[in-house]
Every structure is written in C-alpha cells, then in structure tokens.
Amino acid sequence: MQKVLVLVFADLNYDARVTRQIRWLTENYSVTVVCFSGRKDLPHVKFEEISMTQLTIVRKLGLALALFFKLFGLANKIQHGYFNDLRHLKGFDFIVANDVETLPLAFQLSTNGKVIFDAHEYAPRHFEDKAWWKLLFAPWYHHLCKRYIPAVVGMTTVSSGLADEYENNYGTRPLITTNATRYHDLKPQPISKPIRLVHHGIINKSRKIEKMVEMMKVLGADYTLDFILMAPEYASSATQEYFDDLKLSIQDIKNVTILPPLSNEDIVPTINKYDIGLFLLEPVNFNYTYALPNKLYDFVQARLAIAIGPSVEMTKVVNEYKLGVVSDSFEPNSLAKEIAKLTAEDITKYKLNAHENARVLSEEENKSTFLTQLN
C-alpha cells in the first residue's frame, strides 16, 4: 500500500476540508498526518502532532524584521520551524501540502518530489485589506508560490476565480475541489415562526459580522438569527476584542443570539432545524470576492433556504440550483429587503430545492478530482 503524508498547520477538529481529504485518502493509502491536533474518529490514520509556534513579543519582532527585509528562509524557521522534529518521517509516495505555508516543509520531507498542493484560497492576497499583512506577508506568500508551485505534481483550490488568479500569476491552473461536505440523509424541517436564520463560522474582523446584526435590526421580531461562532486558536488579541465587542453589541438585540461553537460533524445535523442559512460577506479582499465556503454547502446539506450578498461564486451556486435569494448589494438593508419578501411557500420551495440537489452538491465529485492527482 502506498504511503501519503498530509501536512496542515491547523487543529483538524475545526478543519473540515482537510478532514475530508484524509478520509478519501484512507480508502486506498496508508496515511500519516502532521497537524496541531488530530481526531479520534480517524482510527486508521497515524498522527504526528506538533505544537503551534507561540509568537512571543521577541519572536513577533524577529518575524516582522525577517519579512520586512525579505529573509523568507529565516521567517519560515521562526514561524514554522518544525523540520527537525519531523525529519524522521521518510519514504512517502506522496505528500499533500495544505496552504502555502506548508510547502517548504513538504519539499524538505519529500524524497521523490511528489508534492500535491491544496492552496485552499489565493494566498498572496489573503488579508490584503490589512496594510501590515499586505506589507509583510503578501511578498512572502508570493515568494512561496513563485518558488514551489512550478515544482508540485498537482494543485487544487476552492473556486474558479481563485484558479484563474493562480494561472495568471504562476502559470499553473489548479483543479477545483469545492468545500462541499458529505451527503447527509436529512429532510427539510417545517417553517418556524418566527423565521429562524443561522450563520456559522470563524470569527474574523474582516468578515464584518456586525453587518448581519444590522440586518436583523431591520427585519425585526418576525425573524431570529443564531450565530454559531468560533474564535480560532491562532486568533490575535484584536480578533478576541472584536468578538467580545460583538457579544456586547447584541445584548439588547432580542432577535440575535451567539451560541457556542460546534465540531464540524455536528454542524449540519444541528442547523437542520433552522429555515435560512445566512452569509453576508463584503468583498474587502480578493479571497472574499471569490469565496465559496464550507457553510454554503452545509446549508444545502441541512436543507435550508439560503440568503447571501452578491458574492461571485456563491451567487452562481445559489442561482443555478434555485436555493435562495441574493441581494443587490452588500448593505444590510439590501439583504433584509430580499428576505422580507420571502413567503413561507418561498422558503419551503428553496428548502426542497436544497433537498433535491443535496447529492449533486456533496463531496463526491471533489473526491474523484482530488484523487486523480495521485495516479
């Protein structure tokens, strides 16, 4: 049996995309995973858990200086210096590198050069809305892409807009493997009164979650919104402060609630009881412009109607399969207006359309696309 090493600098309990990837691989390969935290429900996988580098003030300063002076090898050692702890990992037929920061380690550990790169999103413009990130990290990620993408034997990303950008800048067109989750055998639930909306995901200031709160003020008491939010383990103090401020801001808003985070496996069954899956994502950076997130597919598997802003890739899916409504702009009033137009019959129709297309919009096509790279 061939051996595959999967690299990801994340806690797998909160990384649905990589978890799916691992499950596909275990059907025909012996799989070892390097990550910050493994999963007990993947019994046939060997985990090599590494500790996320703690960026002390001194280390942050060193990283900033290394990036400012474009000493990218030093920057990698400061933030991701895991090679010495993992150099015993040898003899793999393929290495799957998730996100651009894992590429140096992947090629250090590879003995045959067979590295597959799952870029997830477009790395060099990930947080371009933040000046400090654009100054320091964007050149590093551009360097990593320019150096390593020509050397990989396979590459994937989540949407066509991102694939276009990689092809335009680095000459390689990734295959598309969306963030579709597995098929869930569920049924649409009856419409609630008041209408119940849900949004789940990682808390991030760039996502401007407060806009969905503003939207709920417009919709009023006939609608409720539950946020199921998680602060990632790498969250900065500014992100935690933003989350705390968000919690304070909704204390007097009776139709908005923040609930505890859920594991990836619990999300779809839990949100099945809601009516509408909500995501208003202002395109403040390139990746948000072409976002095609897990949550859109989770909404489908949960058999929900969907309400979104006019995000390019999400709009294609919602309109093609008639899954819900798309606002004219990213302003809260615009999406509130579209939701307010919906009758109970409209919501039921969208739920049924999600039900009818749940298999088509599940992970199966992505599975075959991803695995072809290992042939």
257 and 284 co-located in one domain: yes
State whether 166 and 297 are in the same domain: no
Q: Among all chains, which residue has been given the structure tokens 């280390």?
A: 59
Q: Determine, yes or no, domain membership for 240.
A: yes
Is position 185 within any domain? no
Residues 25 and 7 in one domain: yes
Give yes or no for residue 223 having a pLDDT over 80.
yes
Residue 234 has a pLDDT of 66
Same domain, 211 and 326: yes
- Tell me: do 122 and 243 sit in the same domain: no
Give the pair of three-digit tokens for residue 203: 């808390």
| Helices 16-26 and 364-371: angle between axes, nearest 10 degrees | 70
368 and 349 assigned to the same domain: no
Query: Is 333 found in the same domain as 285?
Result: yes
For residue 48, the cross-strand partners are: 34
* The pLDDT of residue 233: 67
Q: Is residue 190 part of a domain?
A: no
Number of domains in the chain: 2
Tell whether 8 and 157 lie within a shared domain: yes
Cα–Cα distance for residue pair 173/150, rounded to 1 Å: 11
Lowest mean pLDDT among 41-45, 91-95, 192-196, 348-352: 41-45
Neighbour-count burial of 309, counting CB atoms closer than 10 A to its CB (0-12 exposed, 13-18 middle, 19+ buried): buried
Same domain, 21 and 118: yes
* pLDDT in the model for residue 153: 98
* Inside any domain, residue 267: yes
- Residue 55, pLDDT score: 86
SS3 for 225-288, per residue? EEEEEECCCCCCHHHHHHHHHHHHHCCCCCCEEEECCCCHHHHHHHHCCCCEEEECCCCCCHHH
- Does 319 map to a domain? yes
Mean pLDDT of the chain: 96
The rounded distance, in Å, linking the Cα atoms of 20 and 371 is 12
pLDDT on residue 264: 86
Q: Indicate if the pLDDT at residue 95 is higher than 80.
A: yes
Question: Quick check: is 186 in a domain?
Answer: no
Q: 34 and 60, same structural domain?
A: yes
Distance CA 107, CA 80 (A): 14
Indicate whether 187 belongs to any domain.
Answer: no
Q: For helices 131-148 and 160-170, give the axis angle rounded to 10 degrees.
A: 70
State the CATH number of the domain containing residue 115: 3.40.50.2000
Same domain, 134 and 230: no
Measured CA to CA, the distance from residue 329 to residue 308 in angstroms comes to: 10
Predicted local confidence at residue 220, as pLDDT: 96
- The whole-angstrom separation of Cα 52 and Cα 242 is 23
Q: Residue 349: is it exposed, middle or buried by C-beta count within 10 angstroms (0-12/13-18/19+)?
A: middle
Say if 169 falls within a structural domain.
yes
> Do 175 and 95 fall into the same domain?
yes
E-assigned strand segments in the chain: 3-7, 30-35, 45-49, 94-98, 115-118, 154-157, 175-176, 195-202, 223-230, 256-259, 276-279, 305-308, 324-326
Between 238 and 153, whose confidence is greater?
153
Q: Which range marks the domain in which residue 66 is found? A: 3-180+364-374
